[in-house]
Amino acid sequence: MAVWALGINHTTAPLDLRGRFAFAIDQIDPTLRALRSALNRQPEAALISTCNRTEIYCACEQPQLEHTLEWLAQSGGVSPELLRAHSYIMHDGLAARHAFRVASGLDSMVLGEPQILGQIKDAVRAAEAAGALGTTLSQLFQRSFAVAKEVRTSTEIGAHSISMAAAAVRLAGQLFEDLSEVKILFVGAGEMIDLCATHFAAKNPKSIVIANRTLSRGEELAAKFGATTMHLSDMPDRLHEFDAVVSCTASTLPLIGLGSVERALKKRRRRPMFMVDLAVPRDIEQEVKALEDVYLYTVDDLASVVQTAQANRQAAVAQAEAIVDAGVQSFLHWVEQRNTVPLIQQLNAQADEWRSMEIARARKLLAKGESVDAVLEALSRGLTQKMLHGAMAELRGGDADARANASHAVKHFFLRKER
């Protein structure tokens, strides 16, 4: 089986290009079905899509790297050449290494961040539900989970990192002298908003409001932080009330436009607004960033903030990479063993046929009145002769090289001491 991975991430592709290939969790099923139908032999497939990356993993008898890239380019409405310039393609051991590094947080914008592992598990469950996950990819991801767990328990990979949520609070603290006087609006109610709200709530802001398309989910999150909720439809009229806005939804179009922010600033009498857009595609129109009294940060803008304490992480990174290396070797060994399965099945079938023949012969001898000892002797001799016939024929026939190879094989398989 060949394994391959195709992807784009925060280091290879700009935010707007990544936005073209962002898939919500409920889109994974139809997307995987379309992908598998477009490729030969319907390979195993899984799709991982987060704010920082979109990756396709496949497994099949023959790799189909170019066809996979062409299909993904078409799905995002770009040329294969453009996607190729911003993507990475890996196969077999390199694909496994990449998957293990991603699961362990070694390939994240925030080194060692734990959220990616949960996102991969969600993607794997979605692939299973779509009937797209076979034995090979299942093994790949289960082993990636085990490697990630060992990295987290055996190293301090995440001890010196700063999360996206913490980075947002740090940036807000640089703009506002006292966060306890700040009114904050969170747009969305997913995991990232939950994390951000947790970090901001620790600073005891003046008020927290959560706007979400599904009001019940917004109320559930609001109760956790003593916050209030509002409908998304009310946001344009109330945007001026907030000093800070943090948005992360799965919307395919911006929810906060330039006009809305301009009107909010006018009502605020030009008092500054701090805005963080963690969504891919964007929740806030990028033209907003040009406004004089708005401080807008995207996921890519946070990169320089989260890359801290680099020196303290080096030892942990080296330990983590060693764990990944061991995991890759173990997976490749498993794949190699899988390649011998047909031969093992043939060998077992042949042995069963010989055994059946000898048992049938033994029963006939017993029916004729032969003694049990004689029948057992004949049965064991018959099985032994059948099993050794091929090896004996090779040792006696062929040229010198063939006999030498046969001799080596016989010594290895029949004459070695038990290990």
Active site residues: 51
SS (H, E, C) 226-246: CCEEEEHHHHHHHHHHCCEEE
- Within 10 Å of residue 145's Cβ, how many Cβ atoms? 16
Question: Residue 222 is encoded by which pair of tokens?
Answer: 């609001």
Phi first, then psi, for residue 110 (nearest 5°) are: -100, 105
The token duo for 200 is: 């901001």
| φ and ψ at residue 73, rounded to 5 degrees | -60, -45
Beta-carbon count within 10 A of 50 CB: 23
CA gap 104, 168 in Å, rounded: 23
Give me 308's structure tokens. Answer: 């801290």
Tokens of 37: 């139908």
Q: How many CB atoms lie within 10 A of CB 81?
A: 9
What are the residues whose beta carbons fall under 8 Å from the beta carbon of 17, sequence distance 6 or more? Answer: 8, 78, 82, 86
- Closest C-alpha to 402, from 390, 416, 417, 387: 390
